[in-house]
Copies of this chain bind each other. A is one copy, B any other.
Amino acid sequence: MTIKYKNVYIDDTYTICGNYENDGPLSKYFDKKYKKDLYFDEKSWEKAEVHLIKEANKNILNKNKLKEEDIDFLISGDLQNQIAASDYMARDFNISFIGAYEACSTVGEIIGIGSTFIEGGFAKKVLVSTSSHNMVSEKQFRNPTEYGTPKPKTATFTSTGAVSVLLSNIKSKIKVESVTFGKVIDMGITDVNHMGAIMAPGAGEVIYNHLKDTKRDISYYDLILTGDLGIYGKNILRDYMMTKYNIDLGDNYNDCGTMLYDLDNQPVLAGGSGPVCSSLVVFGYIYKEMLKGKYKKVLIVPTGALFSPTFTFQKESIPSIANAISLEAIL
């Protein structure tokens, strides 16, 4: 299902990253960078993540001289069980809250919900935010890092940071032009260390449906960016689109997971992941380049593996989802 918007704009974004992301090639695009460790003076990794997402939302409000009562909805989600980073952030904001979860595709989902609320005239300003934290995810989804378990090169590295996006019905230079809400896809893959393979079909389906619904050719977009497929998943998606739909993603396609880090020199294996990986790349780097006129029409496709450790222990395969967000620069 694709919804087109006439009155939804991005007013501003605020991006915070951790030290690994600060060491990567896009560091200069982020608003705040933590360089020391992954605790940010908090006593646990989970609290450290709450710190980041709270700070992103506080800072975007302050930067835009907005008060909590100026915001109609706060829509947020993250990878912690019970989306706890978002919940514990939200208790410090006196704003109606909507909690969302689609794994690393949550950022696409919350932009979709927020944009739809604005387009319908039910909200004027909506704050959407997401976060992830490398150590929280390692502890929760994988083997605790203290075990030192080696990983295959298809594994990805959960990014640390938080991103807040201020959506508004007041015209700005960047428009949310449309959103295609994805469907849950399961190709029967069970390898928890190959999320790129799991998520590529989800991305492929939503890109295909987006182009079909909008009657657009792939060449319509200056840039198509998937969320966090990584270097192997990116190639799988190229093959999938060509084989199934005869669509060549071409030179304008890239994956945020391969862009956030220096893949040759940082210990991130197949690339970055987590809802904040694509969010940092898109709402730090791409957003600022769109404002400068480098890209005019960009299709963002955050990808999510709906991975539950409980179901994986029970030998279930891992479903995935992706959402497609069309951003347009009006300069």
- Residues on B with C-beta less than 8 A from A73 are 1, 181
- Which residues from B are CB-within-8-Å of A122? 3, 116, 119-120
Within 8 Å of chain B (Cβ to Cβ): is A98? Answer: yes
The closest CB in chain B to the CB of A2 belongs to B96
Which of A90, A96, A319 has its CB near the most chain B CB atoms (within 10 A)?
A96
Q: Which of B100, B116, B308 contacts A82 (CB 8 A)?
A: B308
**What separation, in Å, do the CA atoms of A132 and B95 have in the docked complex?**
28
Judge whether A44 is part of the interface by a CB distance below 8 angstroms.
yes
Pairwise interchain contact A103-B82, C-beta atoms closer than 8 A: yes
Q: Which of B1, B97, B310 interacts with A81 by CB under 8 Å?
A: B310
The answer to whether B311 and A84 touch across the interface, beta carbons within 8 angstroms, is: yes
What is the bound-complex CA distance between A185 and B306, given in angstroms? 28
Residues of A within 8 A of B (CB): 1, 3, 43-44, 46-47, 72-73, 77, 80-84, 87-88, 90-91, 93-103, 109, 112-113, 116-117, 119-123, 140, 180-186, 306-311, 314, 316, 319, 321
The 5 closest A-B pairs by CB, nearest first: A120-B120, A84-B308, A90-B184, A96-B181, A87-B306
A–B complex contacts, Cβ < 8 Å, 14 sampled: A1-B96, A1-B123, A3-B122, A43-B314, A73-B181, A81-B82, A87-B321, A88-B306, A90-B183, A95-B183, A97-B184, A98-B181, A99-B100, A120-B121
